[in-house]
Amino acid sequence: MISTREAGPWLSAEEPLPDYAGLDLDALAERTAHPVLGAVLAGLRDRARHAADAVAYHEDSPDR
């Protein structure tokens, strides 16, 4: 788990960051009427359903 110290110098507390991995996105989407949060949740819910298709890419080669 990432602590707030590892997250960046702007956070000074020593408490660990909350873990929202078990959050029920469907239940949260049903409870909100906020348009931006609703759009974000729609994207998160779609990604959660297609987790096997997730791809991460990081380019760390030196500049030429």
Q: Which of the four pLDDT bands, split at 50, 70 and 90, describes residue 8? A: low
Residue 10: the pLDDT is: 61
Domains of the chain, by residue range, sit at: 22-52
Output the pLDDT for position 50: 81
pLDDT digits 0-9 by tens, 9-61: 665 567 777 888 888 999 999 999 999 999 999 998 888 888 787 777 777 77
pTM: 0.51
Q: What is the pLDDT of residues 50-61, one digit of tens each?
A: 878 777 777 777
The stretches of 1-64 forming alpha helices (DSSP H) are 4-7, 25-31, 35-49
Q: Are 12 and 4 in contact (CB under 8 A)?
A: yes
Q: Could you give the CA distance from residue 54 to residue 50 in angstroms, rounded to a whole number?
A: 7
